[in-house]
Structure 1
Amino acid sequence: MFRHLFKLIWNKRKHNFLFLSEILISFLVIFAVFSYLTYYYQNYRQPLGFDYQRVWTIEYDNDKLTKNSDSLSMFYERLEKTLKSMPEIAEVSFSSANFPYGDSYMSTGLSQNGQKFNNVSNYNVGADYNKLWNVAMTEGRWFLPEDAISKNRTVIINETLKKLMFGKAPATGKLIGDFDDTNKLKVIGVMQDVKADGDFSVIGSAMFTRLDTSGLSYMHTILLKVRENADATFEGELYKFMANSMRSAVEIRHVDEMRDAKNEATYIPMIIFIIIASFLIINVGLGLFGVMWYNISRRKSEIGLRRAIGASGGSVSCQLVAEAMILATMSLVIGCFFAIQFPLLNVYNIPSGVYIISILMSILFIYVLVLACSLFPGKQAAAIHPAIALHEE
């Protein structure tokens, strides 16, 4: 039977070219859509890693503050005590500008046993940074005051960087080098992975260093963990206090709103992409339906002759559906050849599993689409009366 079907397909190869092309284009579009969705869905399933609720950021211009390091240190010490004394504030932490959901990004490079690790997010943080975000330590400890006099500068790394550097071995107490491997850094702890760029973002390597006196002159961000009684009235009072203290304009932002903005920047293009792809798939489906309907109209004499010599309507319908599925398989073989290049070449640095899942889902989707588009024309072909078909011919 299959030999006969392949012979029929080969004899009508010019007419089947359009069908094959539409299936191939549909597969590639569906593969792109599923790759996009699978990648972001897997990222979304990863734990957030921290608590962003009721966290506010205060950003200011530090140009009018004193440049003397001792005076500046005393100023920030008094400011921190004043903020913590406010009943609406639970935690206070200074931070570099690249806090979670912020608009800044700072990276560095590290070395370990001759191997380079690039694009490591570098966070310069205050003493209570982990308490403010409620981040768990999976190994070791957080910074202590005595770390300031340590022989080697102390750092904390996240789980992703720890796995890249040390695998399953402990990281606490190990020495790692900076990018040029000229200075050694001592790992004192491993922090839980944090998705700092939105719910759909990929978790990358990160390193945390303690904010010291020399970094105060470059700092212009303060993080606050406020209590539930912090309302708009308190926000206004806080703004006036900070503006007077910094002698400059300040901006107070809510991290939960920043998170929503980050997520919107991801899922709005995703929705637009899905809508465009859906319209294309609908058009392709209508095209497949039309091509099959046209083929049935051209093959009325063949169908009528088969019915006249005793073929049942069900066998005629199954033949047309089988032809469509074979043509779809031929297109999918070509499409899979191109799609499999993505995991082999590690395109866009996306895990290979994402592409494999997308290929399998795209194959299933195309088979369902072709089956749905061929069932009704096949049913109509089965209903053709042999006498009428032969009489028309």
Structure 2
Amino acid sequence: MTHSKGWSFFAENWEVGPIFRALLRNKVGAMLIALQIAFTMTIIVNAIYIIVERSQKMQRPSGIDEANSFFISSVGFSNNFNGLATTQEDLNALRAINGVVDAIQINAVPLSGSGWSMGLQTQPGAEFDGTGAAVYMVDEHALKALDVALIAGENFSATDIQVRVSSQTHWPDKVIITLAMANKLFPQEALAAVGKTVYINDIEPMVVSGIIDKLQAPWVGWDNVENVMLTPEIRDSKSSRYFIRTTSGERDRIMTEVETLLAKSNPQRIIKDMHTLDETRLRAYRDNSAMIRILITVMTILVIITGLGIVGLASFSVNQRKKQIGTRRALGASQQAIVRYFMLENLLISTAGVMIGAIFTVSLNIVLVNAFSLAPITWYYIPLGMIALWLVGQLAVYGPAKKAASIAPAIATRSV
């Protein structure tokens, strides 16, 4: 009995019954708006989740001092060009520049999209699977130049550095790996990996001499982007890439100085491809940035279209029911009651839409997870999406509701 009285009070004061009957008389329009809300919610919630996921990915630290680092390439073109001697002369000159923290020759650059990779395994033999790692060939100055922290073991010494020629297939007997790589090779005992032997090329042993905290591979789209190994090598080649780290605020000045110094020091080569790490990061994530811009544009358009659809349906409803509204006003209904009527009507339509949208959202997310290896959507995105669409609906219907409330009671006496 109490429950029945409560529902009667609710129906009487909030006019649920008349609203349902009115919606049934115009069910096609209400169904279209509900489906539009469902479709909008499905796209927006999944789009926001993708945007957040991509934004977090773009903000991952590379492990290096990006703001104060740049790289530049030297390419010899003369038959008499001595690559190894030139590289050593260049490094000595670069390290002597006032404002340069350190400089190294490196075969690839983090975030650049191009580099070397090899597999490491904890047991020798082709029957065992290796764990992929990006390879950076560097000398004993690498940790300082890259600004990475050694958290276990020791750095390379000058005597560890080997000369690597282009046809070489064997590897040094020491390696420094990232903590992420150590965790992959030695789960539960990553820091204890120092001193242990790993194998490259299936059977070639390398001793883990050190572990660094973080360093990213050149490929930002790689799932194991922090699987990195440093090998103690200097390349004997006509082509060299130098990675230079400067003191804070000195990068741009030193870039100009470095380019001039290298160009004048040896006329038998060309200097090219000088880029900052900031530029490299922008290039690396430009596809993600473009996707975010597109998704934001699509979401904005969908919200506007949905809002306009709600305004259109509400305005049409007001125009169709002017005489009815006037009669209610003549019988004593307040302007607030009229506004409340249309707001509640929209709330019911929106509720149907977001309920359907919740099902569509989960279904689309399952498809995206299977097709693009995305993580499943976090549960709270769905209720947040529902609340957002409810608010859009209420804001969109408020204007037509106010217009309906302004209809004069006298209109009830006019003939159609």
Structure 2's unaligned 5+ residue stretches are 1-10, 163-170
| Distance in 2, Cα, partners of 1:308 & 1:336 | 42
| Distance in 1, Cα, partners of 2:199 & 2:43 | 45
Contact 1:28 1:339 in 2 (8 A): yes
Aligned mate of 1:123, from 136, 142, 149:
136
Task: Kindly state the Cα deviation for residue 222 of structure 1 after the two structures are TM-superposed.
Answer: 1.7
Residue in structure 2 matched with residue 17 of structure 1 by the alignment: 31
CA RMSD in angstroms comes to: 4.0
Contact 2:103 2:141 in 1 (8 A): yes
Q: Which amino acid aligns with 2:107?
A: S
| Distance in 2, Cα, partners of 1:167 & 1:389 | 80
* Alignment map for 1:218-367 (pairs within 5 Å): 220-226=240-246, 228=250, 230=254, 232-233=256-257, 235-241=259-265, 243-244=266-267, 247-251=268-272, 253-256=274-277, 258-259=279-280, 261-262=282-283, 265=286, 266-267=288-289, 270-271=292-293, 273-307=295-329, 310-341=332-363, 344=366, 346-347=369-370, 348-352=372-376, 355-356=378-379, 358-367=381-390
Name the CA shift for 1:343/1:26 in 2 (closer, same or farther; >3 Å): closer
Task: Kindly state the Cα deviation for residue 293 of structure 1 after the two structures are TM-superposed.
Answer: 0.8
Residue in structure 2 matched with residue 391 of structure 1 by the alignment: 414
Residue in structure 2 matched with residue 209 of structure 1 by the alignment: 230
Task: Kindly state the Cα deviation for residue 109 of structure 1 after the two structures are TM-superposed.
Answer: 4.0
Contact 1:43 1:202 in 2 (8 A): no
| Distance in 2, Cα, partners of 1:207 & 1:139 | 15
Say if 2:123 is the partner of 1:107: no
Bigger shift: residues 19-28 or 78-87:
78-87
Task: Kindly state the Cα deviation for residue 23 of structure 1 after the two structures are TM-superposed.
Answer: 1.2
| Distance in 2, Cα, partners of 1:27 & 1:284 | 10
Name the CA shift for 1:231/1:188 in 2 (closer, same or farther; >3 Å): closer
Residue in structure 1 matched with residue 165 of structure 2 by the alignment: none
| Distance in 1, Cα, partners of 2:415 & 2:198 | 85
Q: Which amino acid aligns with 1:382?
A: A
Say if 2:203 is the partner of 1:189: no
| Distance in 2, Cα, partners of 1:198 & 1:117 | 19
Q: Which amino acid aligns with 1:368?
A: L
| Distance in 2, Cα, partners of 1:121 & 1:17 | 54
Residue in structure 2 matched with residue 382 of structure 1 by the alignment: 405
| Distance in 2, Cα, partners of 1:119 & 1:299 | 69
Contact 1:93 1:132 in 2 (8 A): yes
| Distance in 2, Cα, partners of 1:145 & 1:233 | 27
Say if 2:104 is the partner of 1:81: no
Residue in structure 1 matched with residue 168 of structure 2 by the alignment: none
Using the size of structure 1 for normalisation, the TM-score is: 0.78
Contact 1:20 1:328 in 2 (8 A): yes
| Distance in 1, Cα, partners of 2:298 & 2:44 | 11
Name the CA shift for 1:83/1:49 in 2 (closer, same or farther; >3 Å): closer
| Distance in 2, Cα, partners of 1:285 & 1:20 | 12
Name the CA shift for 1:239/1:194 in 2 (closer, same or farther; >3 Å): same
- Can you list the C-alpha shifts for 1:166-195, whole angstroms capped at 9, x where unaligned? 4553342344455x8544554333323346
**Percent identity, aligned pairs only?**
19
Q: How many residues align?
A: 382
Aligned mate of 1:52, from 66, 71, 75:
66
| Distance in 2, Cα, partners of 1:129 & 1:282 | 53
Using the size of structure 2 for normalisation, the TM-score is: 0.74
